[in-house]
């Protein structure tokens, strides 16, 4: 049998009451439902994180290959520099934005 450990956590009274009502209606205990929810979360998030890690690794490999580096992270960081984006200013006519409204605090809006 697997070792067990008591877990306590806070939930709002309303949430706990609704949860208890659903558990009672389904004929299950709080523990069985919470363990099932935790297990499903572990499986779902574990897969999502593994897929994300694989996608990032594939992206890194393609990027390195496009630079002809074949796996050198230090060289990739040397050649890859972020380019600052131009800042959009208030009232920029190219974007047809309105002029900003300023107040000295003495006017009633």
Assign 73 to helix, strand or coil. helix
d(CA 19, CA 25): 10
Instruction: Please list, in sequence order, all residues whose beta carbon lies within 8 angstroms of the beta carbon of residue 76, skipping any fewer than 6 positions away.
Output: 60, 63, 64, 67, 69
Number of helices (H), then strands (E), in the chain = 3, 0
pLDDT at residue 65, as a whole number? 83
With contact defined as beta carbons under 8 Å apart, do 24 and 33 qualify? no
**Helix (H), strand (E) at residue 41:** helix 30-66
pLDDT at residue 66, as a whole number? 82
Provide the CB-side half-sphere exposure for 105 (13 A, CA): 0
User: Would you write out the chain's pLDDT as a tens digit for each of its 109 residues?
Assistant: 789 999 999 999 999 999 999 999 999 999 999 999 999 999 999 999 999 999 998 888 888 888 776 555 555 554 545 555 555 454 455 556 566 665 666 665 5
Assign 17 to helix, strand or coil. helix
């Amino acid at each position: 049998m697997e070792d067990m450990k008591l877990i306590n956590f806070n939930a709002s009274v309303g949430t706990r009451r609704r949860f208890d009502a659903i558990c009672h209606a389904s004929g299950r205990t709080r523990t069985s439902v919470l363990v099932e929810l935790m297990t499903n979360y572990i499986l779902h998030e574990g897969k999502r994180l593994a897929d994300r890690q694989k996608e990032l690794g594939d992206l890194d490999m393609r990027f390195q290959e496009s630079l002809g580096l074949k796996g050198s992270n230090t060289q990739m960081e040397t050649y890859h520099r972020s380019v600052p984006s131009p800042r959009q200013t208030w009232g920029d006519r190219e974007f047809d934005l309105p002029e900003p409204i300023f107040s000295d605090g003495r006017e009633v809006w």
